[in-house]
């Protein structure tokens, strides 16, 4: 069954979008078997609920090994949080592509963005596995009514993602994981900027300084898209 194609309003910016060769950065990819886990959302509610996300740091009475374990535990929670957001984004774009709402240059852009999110999933999943149990892939639901509403939703989600990463920058202990999060953060910002422009909004809605969002602020906003 074919879906009626609805073309996005022709915009100068979308015409002849060049396809930069996207180099797949295969970092932090680790082999691992499937891990049966609790549902994604319940895993992170458990992770975030009641936990002090402030700097754990070291105390005079904490043994080094314990501190390291605490740090890894904290990092796992953050990585799983990011992983869940990336799962949502990757799934969203996969469904959008499947919907047939887009074609031409706009479809091309959506495919590229979706590919980026999938690469983020791959990297974060690998990282999570090195730290402990990765968050399970959530089952998602997104409204896909029209090309316009989908672009709006995409813009919302990307801006949310960028703010979410920014909100966690200071909480990540491991420098390698921090470097990875930083590398992803700016890409989400690029996505957000482009989608803002395509939906008639400012590329920089926060002005000169981007505003972070906490886990407690972000999770309720994505809850509507998680079925289980």
Partner 1 sequence: MHSKLIVSAVQEGTGLEAVEIHGMNRGSFLLKSTLAVGAVYGAAAVGPFVQRAMAQDAMGDIDILNFALTLEFLEADFYKKGLASNLSAETKELAQLFGEHESAHVEALTKTISDLGGTPVAEPTFKFPFTDEASFLELAQTLEDTGVGAYNGAAPLIEAKEVLGAAGSIVQIEARHAAAIRLLRKEMPAPGAFDEALQKQAVLDAVKPLIAA
- Contact residues for partner 1 (CB under 8 A)? 13, 15-20, 22-25, 27-30, 55, 109, 112-113, 115-117, 119-120, 123, 130, 162, 166, 169-170, 174-176, 178-180, 182-187, 189-194, 197-198, 203-204, 206-212
Q: What is the CA radius of gyration of the chain?
A: 18
- Please report how close the Cβ of residue 42 comes to partner 1 at its closest, in angstroms: 27
Residue 18 or 36 with smaller CB distance to partner 1: 18
Ramachandran region of residue 129, left (φ > 0), alpha (ψ -120 to 50) or beta? Answer: alpha
Q: How far apart are CA 180 and CA 200, in angstroms?
A: 31
Instruction: From 15, 80, 13, select the one nearest 43 (Cα to Cα).
Output: 80
Closest separation in Å from C-beta 133 to partner 1: 16
Q: State the minimum distance, in angstroms, from the CB of residue 98 to partner 1.
A: 21
137, 85 contact by CB (below 8 A): no
CB-wise, 83 or 123, nearer to partner 1?
123
Q: How far is the CB of 100 from partner 1 (least distance, A)?
A: 22
Nearer to partner 1, 142 or 165 (CB): 165
Local structure of 226: helix, strand or coil: strand
Of 19 and 148, CB closest to partner 1 = 19
Handedness of CA 194, 200, 206, 207 (dihedral sign): positive
DSSP category for residue 131? H
């Amino acid at each position: 069954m074919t879906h009626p194609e609805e073309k996005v309003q022709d915009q100068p910016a979308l015409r002849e979008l060049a396809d930069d060769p996207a180099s797949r950065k295969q970092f932090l990819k680790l082999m691992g078997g499937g891990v049966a886990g609790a549902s994604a959302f319940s895993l992170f509610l458990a992770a975030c609920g009641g936990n002090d996300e402030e700097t754990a740091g070291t105390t005079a009475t904490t043994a080094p090994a314990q501190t390291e374990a605490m740090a890894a535990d904290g990092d796992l929670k953050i990585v799983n949080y990011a992983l869940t957001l990336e799962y949502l984004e990757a799934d969203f774009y996969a469904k959008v592509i499947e919907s047939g709402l887009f074609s031409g240059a706009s479809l091309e852009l959506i495919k590229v963005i979706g590919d980026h999110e999938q690469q983020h999933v791959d990297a974060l999943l690998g990282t999570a596995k090195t730290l402990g149990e990765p968050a399970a892939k959530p089952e998602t639901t997104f409204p896909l009514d029209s090309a316009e509403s989908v672009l709006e939703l995409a813009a919302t989600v990307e801006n949310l993602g960028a703010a979410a990463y920014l909100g966690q920058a200071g909480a990540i202990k491991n420098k390698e994981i921090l470097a990875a999060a930083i590398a992803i953060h700016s890409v989400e910002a690029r996505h957000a900027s482009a989608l803002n422009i395509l939906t008639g909004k400012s590329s920089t809605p926060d002005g000169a300084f981007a505003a972070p969002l906490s886990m407690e602020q972000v999770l309720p906003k994505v809850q509507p898209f998680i079925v289980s």
